[in-house]
């Protein structure tokens, strides 16, 4: 799979599916290296989807002397789109920094953006979110990756799903495994998350935007996602009832995929009519 020199580092990326272009970005992990199965169901059947490893994880390297900010990570992602020659792209930012990156791209590079989807994110950290992030960092630093994984899973999955699946999701092959042995990369991602602030710039996002609110999200619930909807002119909000920070389980994943693909199809149909 390809690696490109983008924005001063080596970025690993993959492209899956066919159709109009979409860029899908998650949190402190990757959809690459076989993890594309976690993309929304049906997405790669209808869209050509680019995914990549954030700086310092997977097969992307990093430059420690460069200050980590969501603008830096957004410049990486925009650079990938420029490398691919893509324009008019659906930005799908899910569960953490990926959504913040989408915000920064939509603000700085509107020429690239067809639509934007945000879920599990924030416009600016509040005290609860900041203290949660600091706790995760401290646990990883002082107690190790396994303790960090257990804590973040406890906060991120809906309780019934966790009770039925904890034996499967915990361990070295479980979620956030990309950070195992990579504390420095985690700390840099964390620094970018905690310095993110687009509260005075959200009104510059012109792309049609869908903001998904997850009522059971203990980390980035509606108290953080609703201000994003309110701050973007014409943004649409959708409540995914019963959803926690991570969308998991067959039924919940199906509902999310239906919501996402319905929004993208609507945007595509409107723009096709406008182009005629």
What are the DSSP E strand ranges found in the chain? Answer: 3-6, 9-16, 21-25, 48-52, 89-94, 113-119, 209-213, 236-239
**3-state SS, residue 190:** helix
Q: What is the pLDDT of residue 1?
A: 62
* Tens-digit pLDDT profile for residues 208-254: 999 999 999 999 999 999 999 999 999 999 999 999 999 999 999 99
Indicate the fold that domain 3-275 takes in CATH: Rossmann fold (3.40.50)
pLDDT 10s digits, 74-110: 999 999 999 999 999 999 999 899 999 999 999 999 9
pLDDT digits (tens, 9 = 90+) for 59-81: 999 998 999 999 999 999 999 99
Q: Which pLDDT score is estimated for 121?
A: 96
Q: Quote the pLDDT of residue 64.
A: 87
pLDDT at position 276 is 53
Residue 273 has pLDDT above 60, yes or no: no
Mean pLDDT estimate for the chain: 96
- Of 88, 84, 89, nearest in space to 25 by CA: 89
pLDDT of the residue at 275: 58
122-157 pLDDT, tens digit per residue, is 999 999 999 999 999 999 999 999 999 999 999 999
Helices (H), 85-144: 97-108, 127-143
Model confidence at 270, pLDDT cuts 50, 70, 90, reads confident
For residue 238, give Cα distances in angstroms to 26, 58, 87, 243.
19, 32, 26, 12
Instruction: Please count the other Cβ atoms lying within 10 Å of the Cβ belonging to residue 8.
Output: 16
- What global pTM score does this model have? 0.95
Read off the tokens for 128: 């609860």
Dihedral of alpha carbons 263, 230, 97, 207, sign = positive
Structure confidence by residue, pLDDT tens digits, 31-50: 999 999 999 999 999 999 99
Q: What is the pLDDT averaged over residues 247-273?
A: 91
Show me where the domains of the chain are located.
Answer: 3-275
| Whether the predicted pLDDT of 272 surpasses 90 | no
pLDDT, mean of residues 185-195: 97
């Amino acid at each position: 799979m390809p690696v490109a020199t983008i924005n001063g580092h080596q970025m690993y990326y993959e492209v899956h599916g066919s159709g109009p272009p979409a860029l899908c970005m998650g949190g402190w992990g990757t959809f690459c290296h076989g993890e594309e199965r976690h993309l929304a169901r049906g997405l790669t059947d209808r869209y050509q989807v680019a995914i990549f490893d954030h700086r310092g994880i997977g097969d992307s390297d990093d430059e420690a002397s460069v200050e980590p900010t969501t603008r830096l990570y957004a410049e990486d992602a925009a650079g990938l789109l420029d490398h691919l020659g893509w324009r008019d792209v659906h930005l799908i930012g899910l569960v953490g920094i990926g959504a913040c990156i989408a915000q920064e791209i939509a603000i700085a590079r509107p020429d690239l953006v067809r639509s934007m989807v945000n879920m599990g994110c924030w416009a600016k950290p509040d005290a609860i979110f900041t203290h949660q992030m600091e706790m995760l960092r401290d646990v990883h630093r002082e107690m190790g990756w396994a303790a960090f994984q257990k804590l973040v899973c406890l906060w991120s999955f809906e309780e019934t799903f966790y009770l039925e699946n904890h034996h499967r999701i915990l361990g070295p092959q479980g979620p956030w495994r990309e950070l195992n042995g990579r504390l420095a990369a985690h700390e840099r991602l964390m620094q970018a998350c905690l310095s993110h602030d687009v509260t005075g710039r959200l009104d510059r996002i012109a792309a049609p935007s869908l903001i998904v609110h997850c009522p059971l999200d203990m980390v980035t619930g509606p108290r953080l996602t609703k201000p994003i909807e309110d701050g973007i002119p014409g943004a649409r909000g959708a409540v995914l009832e019963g959803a926690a920070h991570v969308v998991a389980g067959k039924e919940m994943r199906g509902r999310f995929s239906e919501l996402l693909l319905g929004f993208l199809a609507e945007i595509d149909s409107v723009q096709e009519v406008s182009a005629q």
